[in-house]
Amino acid sequence: MRGPSVTPFYAGDIGVRGAARVRIGLPFIPMHYGQPSAGAPPAAIATAQRVLDRDPLGYTELLELREKIVAYYAATHGVDVHIDRVLLTAGASAALVAAYAALFRPGDRVAMLRPGYPAYRNSLTALRLEPVEIHCGPGQGFHPTPAQLEALQPAPQGFVVASPANPTGAMLDSQQLSALLSTCRARGIRVISDEIYHGISFGRRAVSALEIDSGTIVINSFSKLYRMPGWRLGWMVVPRDWAAQIHSYLINMFLTPSTLAQHAAIAAMDEHEDLERWVRIYERNRSRLIEGLATLGITRIVPPDGAFYLYADIGHLTRDSMQFCLRAVDEIGVGLAPGIDFDPVEGHRFVRFSFAVTPDEIEGALERLAAWLPHYSE
């Protein structure tokens, strides 16, 4: 290999072991991946079934879906987005890679938060860009500050921000996000705002960067709120004068996103009652998991504002989060994501719980952990 080496996605190892358990009939509770355990909204599935009977499903980008996305920004964020700025992508991952490739050149420095989604760092490395990590720990609520951006010398060429964030669920309010974007404008830093968990928040609405700065590149996805991770569909909103060039990157790298998924997504965006029902289930799961973990002595958790994760400090139990997670899946059939995925420096004492599962699975995981943890030792 001549390309840069990148760190594995360790949660994938947990998934492989969990799948092996399922194949031989052993139970497995999947709290390791950031994906809802429920399927796509019923109307989306019904639409896909109808389309399969009448559409040859060639390469296409549906204007109707882009129009839906434009309407979404107007209704949810009060933002007028021209349709030419909306690009459909094969998931948010394709959007991220295209944005990196189009905006930066090899050697450019791009800031991101630690802890943070591992693909930010690893995709940057793979594209010969330099990730610059800003440590945002629980003491600051996992929120970055303008001072931390100002301290980066020289200024990086880019900054990736997510709100709600993975793995912490931390969410920036309008004032916090405005301050960060203002600092980036002043220093000539291009911003990519990852908004794939928008719509999943508890107590307040997530603010889009487009409400503050129309020059921000925004990435979103149908994998989280719309419960369509395997359909591989997302979108970007980009400055209008960049749209044609970024679209050229997308079509050369990925062609078009799934046509079937596009048809289903149009229906999914209208399933407001169903989508809201599952957000409320996540909210109840969040409360129950925080309560249940506290009874097990796992209390060092900053309650998430959004997304569907708890990022828990288990340093009193282990100094090796990967080994802890491997044993949890092998010994009790509970899948957790090791903190080293998200933080290569301090993640050895953290694990991430996904609560985008059913309430019964939350109870099952707590019961198994309650029986296992008193006897756990390294």
Calculate mean pLDDT across residues 103-124. 98
CA of residue 193 relative to chain centroid, distance = 11
Residue range of the domain that includes 299: 10-39+272-375
Q: Domain check: are 252 and 112 in the same one?
A: yes
What pLDDT does residue 377 have? Answer: 84
Examine the pLDDT at 25 and tell me if it is beyond 90. yes
CATH number reported for the structural domain that contains residue 118 in this entry: 3.40.640.10
Q: Domain check: are 84 and 230 in the same one?
A: yes
Q: Domain check: are 204 and 322 in the same one?
A: no
Q: Domain check: are 26 and 167 in the same one?
A: no
Domain boundary residue among 209, 239, 268? Answer: 268
Q: Is residue 170 part of a domain?
A: yes
Examine the pLDDT at 356 and tell me if it is beyond 90. yes
Domain boundary residue among 268, 301, 330? Answer: 268
Q: Domain check: are 69 and 108 in the same one?
A: yes
How much of the chain, in percent, has pLDDT values that exceed 70?
A: 100
CA of residue 163 relative to chain centroid, distance = 9
Confidence band for 1, pLDDT divided at 50, 70 and 90 = confident
> What CA–CA distance (Å, rounded) separates 69 from 87?
10
Q: Domain check: are 73 and 176 in the same one?
A: yes
Q: Domain check: are 227 and 363 in the same one?
A: no
Which tens digit of pLDDT belongs to each residue from 165-183? Answer: 999 999 999 999 999 999 9
Confidence band for 118, pLDDT divided at 50, 70 and 90 = very high
> What CA–CA distance (Å, rounded) separates 117 from 352?
11
Q: Is residue 4 part of a domain?
A: no
Calculate mean pLDDT across residues 326-341. 98
Q: Is residue 1 part of a domain?
A: no
**How many structural domains comprise the chain?**
2
Tell me the β-bridge partners of 219: 194, 236
Rg over alpha carbons for the chain, rounded to the nearest Å, is 20
Confidence band for 322, pLDDT divided at 50, 70 and 90 = very high
